[in-house]
Amino acid sequence: MIRTRAVGDTRALAHVPRRVVECVVLGLWLALAVLWELTCPLDDEGDGLVRRTVTCAAFLMAVGYLLTGVRRGPARELREARAVARATQDVLLRPLPPSIDGLTLAARRLSVSQGADVGGDLYEAVATPYGVRIVIGDVRGHGLPAIGAVAAVLGSFREAAYDEAALDGVLRRLDRAYQRRLRDLARQEHPAGGGREPENPAAEEFVTVLLLEIGADSDVRALNCGHPWPFRLGQGAAVPLTAGEPLPPLGAFPLPDDLAPHLCGRLPPGEALFLHTDGAEDARDAAGRFFGLQDALVRTLSGQPPGVPVSPAHVARQVHTALLRHTGGRITDDVALLVLRNDRNDRGARGDRARVPAQSGEPALRRARSEPSRR
């Protein structure tokens, strides 16, 4: 900490000479203008007009320089603050890779807070020995105040997804992490003496979570805690992927003892899943009409050539644009969109897999490991 303070003090002192020089130059300029006005002998009206013009120009230049300096300092600090905020946001909600273990990914997000990319919505996808695991969630509230809960859930998922062999173990880890955050909030809002737990926990806080696991066999398993179910995209249709009643959101009620994941069937090669938060379905236009998310998906898919796999980047971009057009750019809740397509083609009993060719606008996928050459 001492070293950090020393570095900060050094950086602050580095600006002192420049500011001193600027002040000295400005003072000399004004002094010369005043000296010109006082020492020049009075002459005819023409020379007096010249003196007054020169003096006014000098003062106007000085005032302009001061105004420029006043605006330049805050603008520079604002740029630095935005750069720090963007770096922090990228660490918290880091950009997804274009492809991961045979899946092509594309994501879009909107935040209510102006100038921020991260709000109360979260998503992540990681490749684990148990399959690709995806989480998408929505914290109660929106904007910057919800970032703490987003950090707690994402941090726990990034560890539990690798450590837990079963999907229910991942969800219980997320619940424990979020419960710790709620207790911390309760201690701040309702402090209790003697190291006791607060009597009034932060019961109004909760987060909806959808966990998906796509195994090597392309089977989809899910655990849903109050989150909207995704849409299955393929053959020009967008069908809701429903698999029973969801559990309550995390933080609202304790998790049940039995947490068997729902079996959602197989995701065929070339088909995709469209994950979203409720901000997309709840968005309204100026007349109060809700955004037709499923209709927007169908319109997007209708433009796909027959036999061509769904393009996640195209779907995410089109829905994002349609959402902004519908709301006029005035959203009232954070929005997160995540599209993933299965690029695996099962061939033969050995389970060798090829890749579905990348679509226009998508990064080229890594080629599958070639088959052994025949002798």
DSSP string, 274-336: EEE-HHHHH-B-TT-PBP-HHHHHHHHHHTSPTTPPP-HHHHHHHHHHHHHHHHTT--SS-EE
pLDDT tens across 89-115, in order? Answer: 666 678 899 999 999 999 998 877 665
pLDDT tens across 1-29, in order? Answer: 444 444 444 444 444 455 566 666 666 66
At a CB cut-off of 8 Å and minimum separation 6, what does 333 contact? 112, 142, 277, 278, 279, 282, 283
Q: Which helix (H) or strand (E) holds 103?
A: strand 103-110
Mean pLDDT of 263-282: 93
d(Cα 186, Cα 54) in Å, to the nearest integer? 67
Q: Which of 213, 198, 226 is nearest to 139 (CA)?
A: 226
Mean pLDDT of 234-239: 84
**What is the model's pLDDT at position 196?**
56
* pLDDT over 80 (residue 83): no
Query: How many other C-beta atoms lie within 10 A of the C-beta of residue 30?
Result: 15
Overall pTM > 0.95: no
* pLDDT bucket at 362, cuts 50 / 70 / 90: low
Give how far Cα 154 sits from Cα of 118, 139, 149, 227, 279, Å: 13, 12, 9, 16, 19
Query: Tell me, what amino acid is at 253?
Result: F
Per the CB < 8 A criterion, the answer to whether 169 and 128 are in contact is: no
Of the ranges 74-78, 207-211, 299-303, 344-348, the best mean pLDDT one: 207-211
